[in-house]
Structure 1
């Protein structure tokens, strides 16, 4: 006889999937052009864009990765919250409006579009490099999200990893195939609300259900006193510094990542950005802090002094959320949390697949090979390329699971995130704030950022003496710095074209 609790979870999941398909069908009615499919016709409101940008930026990493990190790191895990909060606020406050104004003036609907127009490119070199790197890292990032889907189904529903990954994969592929960017943003708003409510309310419920005793600090100290050290758990001061930097520098990824910045292209106008800024900042603060707190509560409740937390809570704490919901919530709410976890994952997968599709369809096929092709034909090609990219990512996810069954989800996802961020964020930052930045400098930044992620991950981390420090720091911060320095040096050697500088000055002088 089938477990009634399992059937309740499946029923709730079915309702959730039904809502996503309804969103896809409604969104499909707004798809009349390439601009509609990739940026919603640039008519999206601030609530939808803010929730979509945050849901896309957080992914399954927030619910499974960051809750696990909170359990393993203790108080020092809050540095992730600080870093992300700063990254989101700086992005919305100082970069979003400038990027929106320029991308609108260029008529851009993709990031390579923006870059090619910004530098008044006379060749397709910049577009090809940007689109190619975008596709590579997006496929890796999507693969990591599909991987998390399988882990979530296994830990929260007891469904085999491969079956769970396939279910999640086909759900998200179906509704974005129908509705494109509009479906992605609308579903992100729905899924973001689920994530927000679930994460913010869960630690409150757990706190009042636990035996609070002497408090959180005393509870952690009874297990391991280093868990309450906000400046790091190591006796090595340099290791603590690198760990704090590694946690807080995750926020750099919000300063220009294409999957986030394409949302700024889609928003109605610059005034909507001022409103969305506060929604995005509040979402980040409350959800990230809640995720780390959930992990800390799980560490106190489920482990004791001397126990290996990974034996009890899973590799890197990946079972924290499923364990704490099963322990403290009734079955119907546990089922809703299964949907919330899938929301976090799918809100990222849908956006990334559309981004990869735009790179292939718009930046390769249309701009390079078929500049006169009609939008109607491109929309069909967009859907085909979305399906192809999705299946490639699925295959990579299965390979990751087979080759590295003991992988750490937090860091696997972070590698894909860092690759996209290190390649594009320095380029977006320099293009927005330095008129002396040139096309050759941008190409150098992208290539050096791309290569640095690989070098720091597979070479520096393996070095005997300094490797552990780079493991703690991770690849984003050093790759980010390398990309900016290389771009600066090359731009000084090969300055931008005079007409490109003049165009930028004219656009910036325009009032909204």
Structure 2
């Protein structure tokens, strides 16, 4: 088990280090790989970053508790993600080329040629805080898996993950991250497939699995019990709210920067093909494994639900295959953690600090310090992986998704209106979660809607006033 785990980790490290051979030694290369990444690599890297430890640990734990109703999270998330990609990704890549910026905040600020530095710094500061929280959640996810499968203390997994991330981020920046993401995506889907096949076979096949699930009270109900509204209407609202979670991908700097590295905007369709083929296959398998884990580990009080996958793997698989699953979980956490930390680094060195920082060693040292900060957060973290990831995801989406939608639809809001939309959207999501309403409706939904309302309110007000004047003039005797 330890041998196969270390074997895969060594493979990832070698791939990451090898990227230094084609490094150009510039800031643009460190943060955007000189916009030269082929579509297959962009798609697989983006999906590996998206489907992180949240999928291996968080989603499986959620499905273990919720049952069949968890499929609405899956359907909504994929549908919302796909909808957003149809009109955002290519436009974002085009704007990246036109602005010649290397950061997510920089592209949003300079979209129409404007230079509102206060806006850029606010976007960067919000990105830094929540991406750092997100990164710590990934390190926690990896440490949980190591704790169960190898018996190592929780801090050990976080430390190994942090130093491995630091190791190849210091080597080649985002190119190292993308190259290792591609290898990690293969390990991730292989590990999940192996778990699904063996777990199903342990019960004698799919029909027996379904029969066992039907014995668990309420486990095969179509909708969760704690809906905001009763019946199908409540279920529909639940699904739509999670579609907003999928749409929220456009507010995630660490994922969208992958599409910003694409070699040409005309190749976006190819990148999306790779992305969604992998995404759908992996999410279906993860949800199914989560459901099977409930009937295999029936004592819900015996362990942490987020440890269902590694616990089941330990009981069902051979030592080498357990090492593969552990490597898959660790790969998922690392593929996201390195992306998050690099995005934090670009936000700090390009947006928050003076823009004359071009020395790549300064960029690398900054990345290393941010990694250590994420490690400290992970060690002292008290929240579940699922909770911390969703909070960070929804906060970033509520702050940035409305602005990106508006820009891609041809809007050009004034900097003060944009700042208000960012603050109101983010505040709405955080208050929604603080009040506990996120248990019935994903907090990103009201956050994004409020942000859109603020952005479009001036246009709607102008339209209303113009229409009113026209009507008044028409009826004037």
TM-score, L = length of structure 1? 0.84
Which residue does the alignment assign to 2:323? 335
Which residue does the alignment assign to 1:154? 147
Query: Are the equivalent residues in 2 in contact too, given 1:256–1:429 (CA < 8 A)?
Result: no
Query: Are the equivalent residues in 2 in contact too, given 1:121–1:439 (CA < 8 A)?
Result: no
Q: How far apart are the structure 2 equivalents of 1:58 and 1:109?
A: 24
Which residue does the alignment assign to 1:35? 28
SS of 2:22's equivalent in the other structure is coil
Q: How far apart are the structure 2 equivalents of 1:253 and 1:101?
A: 20
Which residue does the alignment assign to 2:274? 279
Q: How far apart are the structure 2 equivalents of 1:11 and 1:201?
A: 18
Query: Are the equivalent residues in 2 in contact too, given 1:199–1:287 (CA < 8 A)?
Result: yes
Q: How far apart are the structure 1 equivalents of 2:244 and 2:177?
A: 27
Cα RMSD after superposing both structures = 2.2
Kindly state the Cα deviation for residue 352 of structure 1 after the two structures are TM-superposed.
0.6
Kindly state the Cα deviation for residue 212 of structure 1 after the two structures are TM-superposed.
4.1
Q: How far apart are the structure 2 equivalents of 1:266 and 1:235?
A: 40
Q: 1:122 to 1:65 in 2, by over 3 A?
A: closer
Query: Are the equivalent residues in 2 in contact too, given 1:227–1:233 (CA < 8 A)?
Result: no
Which residue does the alignment assign to 2:110? 117
Residue from 207, 216, 230 that aligns with 2:222: 230
Kindly state the Cα deviation for residue 133 of structure 1 after the two structures are TM-superposed.
0.8
Q: Does 1:478 align with 2:446?
A: yes
Q: How far apart are the structure 2 equivalents of 1:125 and 1:492?
A: 26
Query: Are the equivalent residues in 2 in contact too, given 1:440–1:490 (CA < 8 A)?
Result: no
Extract unaligned runs of 5+ from structure 2: 464-477
Which residue does the alignment assign to 1:456? 432
Kindly state the Cα deviation for residue 87 of structure 1 after the two structures are TM-superposed.
2.8
Kindly state the Cα deviation for residue 450 of structure 1 after the two structures are TM-superposed.
2.2
Q: 1:21 to 1:216 in 2, by over 3 A?
A: closer
Query: Are the equivalent residues in 1 in contact too, given 2:48–2:185 (CA < 8 A)?
Result: yes
Kindly state the Cα deviation for residue 235 of structure 1 after the two structures are TM-superposed.
8.3
| Matched ranges for 1:30-179 at <5 A | 30-31=22-23, 32-179=25-172
Q: Does 1:352 align with 2:340?
A: yes
Q: How far apart are the structure 2 equivalents of 1:21 and 1:213?
A: 38
Which residue does the alignment assign to 1:192? 185
Which residue does the alignment assign to 1:488? 456
Query: Are the equivalent residues in 1 in contact too, given 2:3–2:320 (CA < 8 A)?
Result: no
Q: Does 1:288 align with 2:269?
A: no
Q: How far apart are the structure 1 equivalents of 2:461 and 2:416?
A: 9
Q: 1:160 to 1:438 in 2, by over 3 A?
A: same
| Matched ranges for 1:352-501 at <5 A | 352-367=340-355, 370=356, 375=358, 377=359, 379-400=360-381, 404=382, 407-458=383-434, 460-461=435-436, 467=437, 470-489=438-457
Query: Are the equivalent residues in 2 in contact too, given 1:42–1:266 (CA < 8 A)?
Result: yes
Q: How far apart are the structure 1 equivalents of 2:66 and 2:151?
A: 27
Q: How far apart are the structure 1 equivalents of 2:400 and 2:294?
A: 37
TM-score, L = length of structure 2? 0.90
Query: Are the equivalent residues in 2 in contact too, given 1:202–1:294 (CA < 8 A)?
Result: yes
Q: Which runs of 4+ in 1 moved over 3 A?
A: 211-217, 233-249, 490-495
Q: How far apart are the structure 1 equivalents of 2:266 and 2:337?
A: 28
SS of 1:227's equivalent in the other structure is coil
Kindly state the Cα deviation for residue 217 of structure 1 after the two structures are TM-superposed.
3.6
Q: 1:494 to 1:198 in 2, by over 3 A?
A: farther
SS of 1:255's equivalent in the other structure is helix
Q: Does 1:17 align with 2:9?
A: yes
Aligned length: 459
Which residue does the alignment assign to 2:308? 320
Deviation per residue, 1:329-372 (Å, 9 max, x gap): 211000111110000000000001111101111112343xx3xx
Query: Are the equivalent residues in 2 in contact too, given 1:441–1:489 (CA < 8 A)?
Result: no
Q: How far apart are the structure 1 equivalents of 2:227 and 2:326?
A: 39
Query: Are the equivalent residues in 1 in contact too, given 2:228–2:440 (CA < 8 A)?
Result: no
Kindly state the Cα deviation for residue 237 of structure 1 after the two structures are TM-superposed.
4.1
Kindly state the Cα deviation for residue 198 of structure 1 after the two structures are TM-superposed.
1.9
Query: Are the equivalent residues in 2 in contact too, given 1:253–1:421 (CA < 8 A)?
Result: yes
Q: How far apart are the structure 2 equivalents of 1:212 and 1:431?
A: 50
Q: 1:476 to 1:156 in 2, by over 3 A?
A: farther
Moved more, 473-482 or 293-302: 473-482
Q: 1:395 to 1:216 in 2, by over 3 A?
A: same
SS of 2:440's equivalent in the other structure is helix
